[in-house]
Structure 1
Amino acid sequence: MSAPLFLDQFETTLRDHPEQIAVIDLSGDEPVMLTYAELDRLAARIAARLLQLDVKPGEAVAYQLPSGWPFVALTLAIWKVGATPCPLLPQLREREVAFILNSSESRVFIAPDVFRRFDYRPLVESILKEAPRVEHALILPTSPYDPLSSDLGGLLAPEADAEAAKEALSARKPGPDSHSQLLYTSGTTGEPKGVLHTHRTLSEALLIHTRTLGLTSKDRIWVPSPTAHQTGFLYGMLVSFYIGAPGIYHAIWDVDKARAAIEEHGATFVQAAMPFLSDITRADRPPKGLRLFIATGAAIPRQLAQEARERLQCAVVGAWGSTESCLVTVGRPSDPPEKLWGTDGRVLDGMQIRVVDDEGRELPPGTEGNFQVKTPAMFVTYLHHPEWYEAAMTPDGFFDTGDLAVIDEDGYLRITGRKKDVVNRGGEKIPVVEIEDLLYQHPDIADAAVVAMPDERLGERACAYVVLKPGAKRLELCDITDFLGERGMAKIYWPERLEIIDEMPRTASGKIQKYVLRQDIQQKLERERAEKTG
Structure 2
Amino acid sequence: MEFDAVLIAPRRAQMVAQGLWHDRTINDDLDACVAACPDKTALTALRVEEGGTIRFTYREMTRMADRIAVGLARLGVGRNDVVACQLPNWWQFTLTYLACSRIGAVINPLMHIFRERELSFMLKHGEAKVLIVPQAFRGFDFEQMVAGLRGDLPALEHVVVVGGSGGNSFDALLSGPAWEDSADAQAILARSRPGPDDVTQLIYTSGTTGEPKGVMHTANTTMANIIPYAQRLRLGADDVVLMASPMAHQTGFMYGLMMPIMLKASVVLQDIWEPGRALELIRSERVSFTMASTPFLTDLTRAVAERRLEVPTLRTFLCAGAPIPGPLVEQARAVLGTKIVSAWGMSENGAVTLIELDDEDERAFNTDGHPLPGVEIKVADDAGQAMPAGEPGRLLVRACSNFGGYLRRPHLNGTDADDWFDTGDLARVDAEGYIRITGRSKDVIIRGGENIPVVEIESLLYRHPAIAMAAIVAYPDERLGERACAVVVARPGHSVDLPSIVDFLKREKVAVQYIPERLIVRDTMPSTPSGKIQKFKLRELLRTTTA
State TM-score, norm by structure 1. 0.94
Contact 2:71–2:179 (CA under 8 A) maintained in structure 1: no
SS in 2 for 1:222: strand
| Counterpart residue type for residue 529 of structure 2 | A
Equivalent of 1:199, from 219, 226, 237? 219
1:70 aligns with 2:92: yes
Identity %: 42
Q: Where does the alignment leave 5 or more consecutive residues of structure 1 unmatched?
A: 145-149, 527-534
Contact 1:298–1:344 (CA under 8 A) maintained in structure 2: no
Contact 1:140–1:153 (CA under 8 A) maintained in structure 2: no
Equivalent of 2:157, from 112, 115, 135? 135
How big is the alpha-carbon RMSD for the aligned residues of Structure 1 and Structure 2? 1.5
Contact 1:423–1:461 (CA under 8 A) maintained in structure 2: yes
Count of residues in correspondence between the two structures? 518
Which structure 1 residue ranges, 4+ long, deviate > 6 Å from structure 2?
Answer: none
The aligned residue for residue 330 of structure 1 is: 354
1:340 aligns with 2:360: no
Distance in 1 between the 2:181 and 2:519 partners? 54
| Counterpart residue type for residue 488 of structure 1 | K
The aligned residue for residue 5 of structure 2 is: none
Distance in 1 between the 2:457 and 2:145 partners? 21
Contact 2:82–2:107 (CA under 8 A) maintained in structure 1: yes
Equivalent of 1:159, from 175, 178, 196? 178
Distance in 2 between the 1:211 and 1:160 partners? 38
Q: Structure 1 247/163 Cα, relative in aligned 2: closer, same or farther at 3 Å?
A: farther
| Counterpart residue type for residue 154 of structure 1 | L
Q: Cα offset for 1:381?
A: 1.0
Q: Cα offset for 1:287?
A: 5.2
The aligned residue for residue 480 of structure 1 is: 501
The aligned residue for residue 294 of structure 2 is: 274
Contact 2:427–2:438 (CA under 8 A) maintained in structure 1: yes
The aligned residue for residue 263 of structure 2 is: 243
1:315 aligns with 2:316: no
Distance in 1 between the 2:446 and 2:295 partners? 12
Q: Cα offset for 1:160?
A: 4.6
The aligned residue for residue 471 of structure 1 is: 493
Q: Cα offset for 1:151?
A: 5.7
The aligned residue for residue 508 of structure 1 is: 529
Q: Cα offset for 1:458?
A: 0.8
SS in 2 for 1:225: coil
| Pairing of 1:24-423 with structure 2 (within 5 A) | 24-27=44-47, 28-141=50-163, 152-156=171-175, 158-164=177-183, 165-283=185-303, 284-285=306-307, 288=311, 289-389=313-413, 392-423=414-445
Distance in 2 between the 1:406 and 1:120 partners? 43
Distance in 1 between the 2:534 and 2:440 partners? 14
Q: Structure 1 160/501 Cα, relative in aligned 2: closer, same or farther at 3 Å?
A: closer
Q: Cα offset for 1:157?
A: 5.0
Q: Cα offset for 1:161?
A: 4.9
The aligned residue for residue 8 of structure 2 is: none
SS in 2 for 1:41: helix
| Pairing of 1:404-443 with structure 2 (within 5 A) | 404-443=426-465
Structure 1 residues 232-289: Cα deviation after superposition (integer angstroms, max 9, x where no partner): 0002111111101111101111112211221111111111111111111122236513
Distance in 2 between the 1:319 and 1:38 partners? 34
Q: Structure 1 21/501 Cα, relative in aligned 2: closer, same or farther at 3 Å?
A: same
Contact 1:45–1:159 (CA under 8 A) maintained in structure 2: yes
SS in 2 for 1:34: strand
Q: Cα offset for 1:162?
A: 4.4
Q: Where does the alignment leave 5 or more consecutive residues of structure 2 unmatched?
A: 1-18
Q: Cα offset for 1:120?
A: 1.1
| Counterpart residue type for residue 343 of structure 2 | A
